[in-house]
Structure 1
Amino acid sequence: MASQDPTAPTRPDLFDRPLLAQRRARALRRAVEGADFLLAHAVADMADRLLAVTRDFSIAVDLGGHTGRLAGVLATHPRIGRALRADLFIADPNVPGADLVVDDALPPFAEASVDLIASALSLHLVNDLPGALIQIRRSLKPDGLFLASVLGGDTLFELKDCLMRAELEISGGAAPRVVPFADTRGLGALLQRAGFALPVADVDRVTVRYDSMFALIRDLRAMGATNMLAERARTPLSRAIIARAGEIYANAHADADGRIRATFDIVSLSGWAPHESQQKPLKPGSAKVSLADALSAFDTKGKGGKED
């Protein structure tokens, strides 16, 4: 294997991970009731998906499960032998300590050591998602399953639009204020590049309504999900910009009753570690009936039908 060129430029980090840890820890200490509604929605969906899987898993890992919600689902699943919570953020006083203190950006598990790895609303905030997915796939035993939910697509596009327009209008320039999110097709492609078999990516759009933009920001703060971009502006927005953004939001993204909309696209990802028992696509040229013959047969059947 060729050694990596030490002079090659390194890609700058997108996220300030230590700041993310601080904000999540603060959010857990303050524990605003109901603030984890998105996580609850994602975990419930993941539980339904697991119920449709008919194989057993000896060892399952909740990767990045800082609240314990997903770990609780895995622990009570009838087809899972042992569930482990692997978490870097363990400050929640209401949840027992994590089984493993692990950075989900760098999963340290031995090769082919885990049957199921699940992650809920965490992996979209790692700096090297392709690398993390490769490590997850290597950690899975053959025919092991990876399930995850991440925020993607048009998540919080309304907030991003209003903050940018207000800042441009008042100060003449705009700094990044909202995390950029990958689209569903791109996330599916990452699963393929990481070597997963039977990769699937689908999106569930959740629209949440608030009295104002400020109520939305309070929820994001309670989730520990406010701006943690590494290249964020270090000076807070002025009151004038924030007030103007609130006005733009109310005018551009409100329903008839005056309540504003906030979009969250939850992308569900799944893939299997390759195994010889899995269904495989046919090789090119192996079909026994040509497309032309199939279409001809279809046309012949259609001619015998009665017209209305």
Structure 2
Amino acid sequence: MTRPSGDPDHRPFDRRLLRLRRERWLAAADAPLFLHEEMAERLVERLGDIRRNFATVLELGCGRGALSRRLAARSDLRTLVRTDLARAAAPGPGHFVQADEEALPFGAETFDAVVSVGAFHWVCDLPGVLVQLRRILRPDGLLLVAFPGGDTLFELRRSLLLAELELCGGAVPRVAPFVQLADAAALLQRAGFALPVADIDRLTVRYRDPQELLGDLRRMGESGAPRLAGGAPLRRDVLARALAIYRRDFAARDGRVPATFEIIWMTGWSPHPDQPQPKPRGSGKVDLGDWLGRGSG
């Protein structure tokens, strides 16, 4: 999936509103952190599996510092630059720079690695952001990011859709469109990354009721941007019906309801001559007889 840029009225997300919501999330003492903490833990594990040193690292969307704290424990780290769309992030290691992921202020070949958790699903122009990141990475530099995508919140999306169709005779998107796994590696390749890989993790969180999930999404700053629905507010009766459908179709025997989060992982490398290169098409020289066992015995 590619997201349009250009005319602000046709951008899928209101970035100004997102900034305000992130600032409220950063200021809230009771903001849920479980999703960012889980993604941060898994990212650091993946980073640890790569036998490389990354002395200068850029973190995008640092937020409450779930990833920053873990990165600071790496012995090879010399410089950590943290950015966030919000004007001020939580205190943490390294240097903080307020910056929009879609307009980064860094020069070419500045960083050994760029990492992020929980930021890219609100980007309007993901292909453009990936091109920027390849430019600011040094040759053979690593991009490793994680964000909700795929079938994230499919239970909520389905319930809202059915309720609005039932009561209004039509429906508009109430949950952000997500990047699909099939598109992720292609976007990396299109942006010029070498060795692009995309994969997915699935997390299921169980809530007492759907209203508790909505509360978590609001307090995490993850509620939908108005442009998704053309500015039309969600009617109270539609919301009530959606919650009833959610409980009817997804509740377990104990009454709790699941909320699915699919985490898209995107990994790519800034090109370098020493990286493994794919062989040219048609360059294989294996005799078919060897495969068929001809002449053996």
In 1: Cα distance, 2:224 partner to 2:84 partner: 21
CA distance in 2, matches of 1:10, 1:185: 27
Distance 2:93 2:76 in 1: 23
Residue deviations 1:283-302, cap 9 Å, x none? 22332313x234302x888x
TM-score (norm: length of structure 1): 0.88
Q: 248, 270, 277: which one pairs with 1:251?
A: 248
CA distance in 2, matches of 1:124, 1:43: 16
Equivalent residue for 1:134, pick from 122, 131, 134: 131
SS in structure 2 of the partner of residue 230 of structure 1? helix
Q: What does 1:1-308 correspond to in 2, within 5 Å?
A: 10=7, 12-32=10-30, 35-92=32-89, 99-290=96-287, 292-297=288-293
Cα deviation 1:32-62 (Å, max 9, x = unaligned)? 25x1111111100100011111111221011
Instruction: State the shift of 1:94 in Å.
Output: 5.5
Residue-by-residue CA offset, 1:130-161 (whole Å, 9 max, x unaligned)? 00000001110000000100211101111011
Displacement of 1:93 = 5.6
Amino acid corresponding to residue 47 of structure 2 in structure 1: L
Q: TM-score, normalised by structure 2?
A: 0.91
Structure 1 distance, partners of 2:156, 2:81, is: 36
Give the number of the structure whose alpha-carbon radius of gyration is greater: 1
C-alpha separation between the residues in 1 aligned to 2:94 and 2:146?
Answer: 23
Deviation sequence 1:162-196 (CA, Å, 0-9, x none): 11111221222222210011111101110010111
Q: 8 Å contact 1:71–1:84 — kept in the other structure?
A: no
Using the alignment, how far apart are the partners of 2:29 and 2:290 within structure 1? 61
Unaligned runs of at least 5 residues, structure 1: 1-8
Aligned pair in 2 of structure 1 residues 140, 93: CA closer, same or farther (>3 Å)? Answer: closer
Query: Cα RMSD (Å) of the superposition?
Result: 2.1
User: Which of 207-216 and 69-78 deviates more?
Assistant: 69-78
Stretch moving more, 204-213 or 89-98: 89-98
Assess if the C-alpha contact under 8 Å between 1:90 and 1:97 holds in 2: no
Give the aligned length: 291
Check 1:111–1:94 CA distance in 2 against 1; reply closer, same or farther (3 A cut): closer
- Distance in 2 (CA, whole Å) between partners of 1:97 and 1:113 is 15
**Alpha carbons of structure 1 residues 146 and 28: separation in structure 2 relative to 1, 3 Å:** same
Q: What SS class does the counterpart of residue 57 from structure 1 fall into? A: coil
Q: Tell me the percent identity.
A: 42
Partner of 1:3: none
Task: Look up the match of 2:3.
Answer: none
- Aligned partners of 1:133 and 1:201: how far apart in 2? 14
The DSSP-based 3-state class of the residue aligned with 2:254 is coil
How far apart, in 2, do the equivalents of 1:293 and 1:112 lie?
Answer: 49
CA contact (8 A) 1:29 1:92 kept: no
> Distance in 2 between the 1:229 and 1:60 partners?
34
Residues 293 and 242 of structure 1, relative CA distance in 2, 3 Å threshold:
same
1: CA distance, partners of 2:111 / 2:92: 23
- TM-fit CA distance, 1:97: 9.5
